[in-house]
Amino acid sequence: MFLLPDGIPVNKKNILEYLARLIIEGKIKADESLPNEIALSEHFGVSRTMIRDILKTLESKGFIARKTNIGTRVMSIHSWNLLDEEVLEWSCGALTQSRFLLSLLELRLIIEPQAASLAALRANDDHLQELHNYYQLMADSVEKQDLDNDCMDTEADIEFHRTIMKASGNLFISQFGGTIRAALYHTIYRSNRATENTQHSLEAHKSVLESIENRNSEQAYLRMANVLSNTIRDLGLQTTGIILLDQ
């Protein structure tokens, strides 16, 4: 069994994250069994109540399965709640390999161009104003670039994309935009850091905004697909099998 690294306080949050990372990094492999509550309690020097709460959280996120008289079994990545914000944060070091990032970007390619197309038909004045505000924050950050700020405003970029999903008028897509905030952060942040031409990226976002504002749904679809294609290129990835309208 592993111990918390030196200097890390022994508390519920840190034990939870530590066990999750061991599973994510494959140090505790799928189908392995975890020690029981008593053993874990003694190992970490904490109460059984705390361990029970930690295991419940790991189970809710799909990392483990618990059955009476059988024990606690570690689950494979296919059972994890990959869009959970904490799971994405814990996965940052281990799962930001090309397969993981590409899966996130493929998901965005499936959803966001269509969301932009719907937004062009359904966005109201408040949505359009929000998009303008977030675009302006991105533009301001590009204009003020210096050695300490060499990329576009990530938070504004995230909210720009989430607002488009909200403006789609589809309840499920709108809720999805909130759910995948962490996923947006991981891909947008890395893309903004990787891009060599932030002005080009800014212009691509502007073209999405203008297409939505002009109520041109097909163009909005194409422009959003272009933004995401640029992201994939900036990260040095390639997608195959995603069918998009001709760009």
109-159 per-position pLDDT tens digit: 999 999 999 999 999 999 999 999 999 999 998 887 653 455 778 899 999
Residue-level pLDDT at 147: 39
This prediction's pTM: 0.79
How far, in Å, are 37, 52, 70, 146, 202 from residue 67 at the CA level? 13, 13, 5, 56, 51
Residue-level pLDDT at 140: 92
Residue-level pLDDT at 80: 93
Neighbours of 63 (CB within 10 A): 28
Separation of alpha carbons 164 and 209, rounded Å: 9
Residue-level pLDDT at 97: 61
The structure tokens listed for 128 are 């359009």
Residue-level pLDDT at 166: 96
Residue-level pLDDT at 88: 81
- Please choose, from the candidates 161, 202, 168, the residue with its C-alpha nearest in 3D space to the C-alpha of residue 183: 161
Separation of alpha carbons 38 and 194, rounded Å: 47
The stretches of 195-247 forming alpha helices (DSSP H) are 198-213, 217-234
How far, in Å, are 57, 71, 169, 182, 183 from residue 84 at the CA level? 12, 25, 23, 8, 9
Per-residue pLDDT of the chain (247 residues; tens, 9 = 90+): 667 877 889 999 999 999 999 999 899 999 999 999 999 999 999 999 999 999 999 999 999 999 988 899 999 999 999 888 888 888 866 655 667 778 888 889 999 999 999 999 999 999 999 999 999 999 998 887 653 455 778 899 999 999 999 999 999 999 888 777 877 887 887 777 777 778 888 999 999 999 999 999 999 999 999 999 888 888 888 776 676 665 5
